[in-house]
Amino acid sequence: MKRALLSLMKKKDFKSISITEIVHEADVNRGTFYKNYVYKEDILDEIICDVTNDLIMSFREPYKDLEKIDVRYLTSKAIKIFEHVETHASFYTLIASSTNFAGFENKLCQEIKQLLFNDFAYSLSNQTIDINILASYHSYALVGMIMEWVHTDYQYSSEYMAEQLLEIIRNSQRISIKEISVEVVEKKSN
């Protein structure tokens, strides 16, 4: 029924989808629906919960069996979050194009931020950096990267995206502002 709901949501707004349409699309009877759910919103909540739980597992994959992680030795093959997005591409495409998921991108950011707080110990040489703001920065940057990939219709492979993320992480301390030449244009008087 989850697949049926996602399929229907590609064609029409969630609010206008009926339970009858869901069971017809899923090729099950109404009794099966009510055996598992009370409202159609329950299916959507379950989909969101499933995707979020899978996101958390894929985020943790590179370090799940480690006490300490050093990005210098991390490989792009260990990064699984983009494989997760690719696996759930129809869901993420719906998020990007639908008003039905208002706030889901923020939920993703909050989940990743919580993972950063729970799983990583920040040791900053610069004590003026607020760890909460830093965790927000990292989580919103990752979700932004994911959504950019979705908006470009998965232009790159998940492997390429993982490589890019790893290079961004490794080189984030070395980014500098380019020298920009500014040309002054004088306003002509009439």
Joined tokens for residue 94 = 């719906």
For 78, residues 6+ apart whose C-beta sits below 8 A from its C-beta are 61, 62
- Per-residue model confidence as pLDDT tens for the chain (190 residues): 999 999 999 899 899 999 999 999 999 999 999 999 999 999 999 999 999 999 999 999 998 888 887 777 888 999 999 999 999 999 999 988 877 777 888 899 999 999 988 887 766 667 788 888 888 999 999 999 999 999 999 999 999 999 999 999 888 754 444 555 556 556 665 5
How far is the C-alpha of 190 from the C-alpha of 178, rounded, in Å?
A: 37
The dihedral through the CA atoms of 62, 66, 67, 73 has a sign that is negative
pLDDT at 132: 87
What does each C-alpha distance from 176 to 172, 173, 179 come to in angstroms? 9, 9, 9
- Residue 187: phi and psi, rounded to 5, are -80, 130
Place of tokens 């983009």: 82
Max Cα distance, the chain (Å):
80
How far is the C-alpha of 64 from the C-alpha of 48, rounded, in Å?
A: 23
pLDDT at 130: 85
Structural domains of the chain sorted by starting position, each given as residue range(s) with its CATH number in brackets: 1-38 (1.10.10), 48-172 (1.10.357.10)
Please give the model's pTM, rounded to 2 decimal places. Answer: 0.80
Q: Are 40 and 5 in contact (CB under 8 A)?
A: yes
